[in-house]
Structure 1
Amino acid sequence: MWILVFFDLPTETKKDRKAHAQFRKDIMRDGFTMFQFSIYLRHCNSRENADVHVKRVKRSLPEKGNVGILTITDKQFGDIELFHGQSVKKRPDTPQQLELF
């Protein structure tokens, strides 16, 4: 599973900028990486694990701004086509899944 977090947060005032920075730090601390400006993603091994991380994002929501959370499967993410200009860009690597007994 992949979780994508999209956000558009205000940065007009010092308080807004602080909330924006804190939200970014919170989701990055939870293992999200930047995919594009204001789009962060994280790989999860199961739906249950994804639900845990979605709840953490929801707890970190700032007072103002727009945030979207999208959860998709590895197959759906694998169908993404990425471009840099007209050149095809490589997809982010899927982390290796570990099995613990």
Structure 2
Amino acid sequence: MWVMVLFDLPVGTKAERKRATGFRNFLLDQGFAMVQFSVYARFCAGKEQAEAQTRAIERQIPKFGKVSILFFTDKQYENTISFTGRERSAGPKKPDQLLLF
């Protein structure tokens, strides 16, 4: 399952920029990758892990702004079509599976 966080946070003052940067850094520390500016995605092993991630994000959301969290299955996410300019980019790739011995 994939978790995608989309947000629009105020950045008009120095304090707002600091909070927005802190939120972005939190997402990166949690293993999210930037898809586009203000759009971050992360692969989760299952629904329970995605829900735990959502609770962690909820605790970090700044007081003002808008944050949306979307959930996608692997199949839905691999059907994403992306463009850079007018050229088609390679679609998203599922992370390699960890092997434990």
**TM-score interval w.r.t. the shorter chain?**
over 0.9
Mapping 1:84-95, distance limit 5 Å: 84-95=84-95
What secondary structure, in the 3-state scheme, does the structure 2 residue paired with 1:45 have? coil
Which letter maps to 1:48? E
Taking the aligned partners of 2:76 and 2:23, their CA distance within structure 1 comes to 27
Specify the alignment match of 2:44 in structure 1.
Answer: 44
Verify the 8 A CA contact 2:4 2:40 in the aligned structure 1: yes
Equivalent residue of 2:34, what SS?
A: strand
- Is residue 59 from structure 1 mapped to residue 59 from structure 2 by the alignment? yes
1:12 Cα offset (Å):
0.6
State whether structure 2 residue 41 is matched by structure 1 residue 28. no
Matches of 2:98 and 2:45 in 1, distance apart?
9
* Residue deviations 1:44-86 (CA, integer Å, cap 9, x gap): 1111111111111111100111111001100110111111122
Letter in 1 for 2:40: Y
Structure 1: which amino acid aligns with 2:59? R
Structure 1: where are the runs of 5+ without partners?
none
1:97 CA displacement: 2.3
Give the TM-score normalised by the residue count of structure 1: 0.93
Which 4+ stretches in 1 moved above 4 angstroms? none
1:7-41, Cα deviation, whole Å (9 max, x unpaired): 01111111101110111111111001100010000
- Which consecutive residues of structure 2, in runs of 5 or more, have no partner in the other structure? none
Aligned residues: 101
Cα distance, 1:4–1:79 mapped onto 2, change above 3 Å: same
In 1, distance between residues paired with 2:86 and 2:12? Answer: 34
* Contact 2:54 2:69 survives alignment (8 Å): yes
